[in-house]
Chain A
């Protein structure tokens, strides 16, 4: 049986790498949190990383927009065209094709009709966290994408259910692989909307406290309206976190870093989950 050996949550933002001279003290503190997350990830010796992330309207457009999608490619671009802007060299990260295809098939049996892509190009969603957490690029990555950016969005409750199913899927895999779960996105941020750049640390702290106390399921009760009001349109990415929390229900989180970074336009959290 495969096992979940690590689970963690981190914000992503393009300016974490695109503007490296910005907010030096906050940057140093947040990246120290990611360095600790990386240390723990390596110590957990995963064979495979499932990444719960969201597209930013680069792979999926309004002509074909899945609520959830599994990336089954042998490789994923992270980044490709955005490399110059992100200041991260173009690279391809190894995929986990067989696992992805098994997840699709088991999902259909379990009532989760996930979309599939064989060719994904990631921007800051995967590229920035992977740059800090897995710079060597050796670990196979199985991306699970949730539509967090083009409403109507799947409900947080549905993301909780998906995370629970994915845990059952992992537990039933026969190979004995050691699996790490990483969610990226959030916490509060307002992007491209009239109040772009706003951050709500009060909501961020509520999210972090809820996770720290092992009450992550409460986040699944949030509505789109509540998240949009308190966390902004960028806060809708909390769905990625909710899916991972559902895969390790009840565990307590440890906040490795929290910085509301104006220059990154994001309330940035990094959380280790004690699985």
Chain B
């Protein structure tokens, strides 16, 4: 499976200017994701999201609250 769906999760939230610290399973029923991707979104594991292919600009925008600056 490609990282397309993982990025779609983030893109759709970024488009709506939603900032969050985690994205749980209830919000992800419509997406084709691996267990690893779901776990990274649920825990807000920024490095794991990056490693799994999430676009860094989308990580930054959606999880902005997780950054000090």
**Measured between alpha carbons, how far is A163 from B7 in the docked complex, in Å?**
31
Q: Count chain A residues whose beta carbon lies closer than 8 angstroms to a beta carbon of B.
A: 23
Determine which residue in B7, B46, B61 has the highest number of CB atoms from chain A within 10 A of its CB, and name it: B61
**Measured between alpha carbons, how far is A149 from B47 in the docked complex, in Å?**
18
Chain A residues contacting B59 (CB-CB under 8 Å) are 192
On whether A194 and B17 interact (CB within 8 A), knowing A62-B7, A149-B55, the answer reads: no
Shortest Cβ distance from A47 into chain B, in angstroms? 33
Task: Classify the interface of chain A: helix, strand, loop or mixed.
Answer: loop
- A130 within 8 Å of B (CB atoms): no
Produce 1/0 per residue, B24-63, CB < 8 A to A: 0000000000000000000000110010000111111100
Shortest Cβ distance from A22 into chain B, in angstroms? 8
Chain A residues contacting B56 (CB-CB under 8 Å) are 191-193, 196, 233
- A138 within 8 Å of B (CB atoms): no
The residue in chain A whose Cβ has the minimal distance to the Cβ of B10 is: A57
**Measured between alpha carbons, how far is A194 from B59 in the docked complex, in Å?**
11
B50 contacts A192, C-beta separation under 8 Å: yes
A192 contacts B55, C-beta separation under 8 Å: yes
A193 contacts B17, C-beta separation under 8 Å: no
The residue in chain A whose Cβ has the minimal distance to the Cβ of B56 is: A192
- Size category of the B interface is 20 to 34
A85 contacts B17, C-beta separation under 8 Å: yes
Chain B residues contacting A84 (CB-CB under 8 Å) are 17
**Measured between alpha carbons, how far is A57 from B60 in the docked complex, in Å?**
12
Chain A residues contacting B11 (CB-CB under 8 Å) are 57, 61-62
- A94 within 8 Å of B (CB atoms): no
Chain B residues contacting A150 (CB-CB under 8 Å) are 55
A192 contacts B69, C-beta separation under 8 Å: no
Shortest Cβ distance from A125 into chain B, in angstroms? 11
> Lowest 6 A-B CB distances belong to which pairs?
A192-B56, A192-B60, A192-B59, A193-B56, A61-B11, A56-B57
Question: Which residues from chain B sit less than 8 Å from chain A, CB to CB?
Answer: 4, 7-8, 11, 14-17, 46-47, 50, 55-61, 67-69
Question: Which residues from chain A sit less than 8 Å from chain B, CB to CB?
Answer: 15, 22, 56-58, 61-62, 81-82, 84-85, 149-150, 191-194, 196-197, 233, 262-263, 265
Extra 9 A-B pairs, beta carbons < 8 Å, given A62-B11, A233-B56: A22-B69, A61-B11, A81-B15, A149-B57, A192-B60, A194-B50, A197-B67, A197-B68, A263-B69
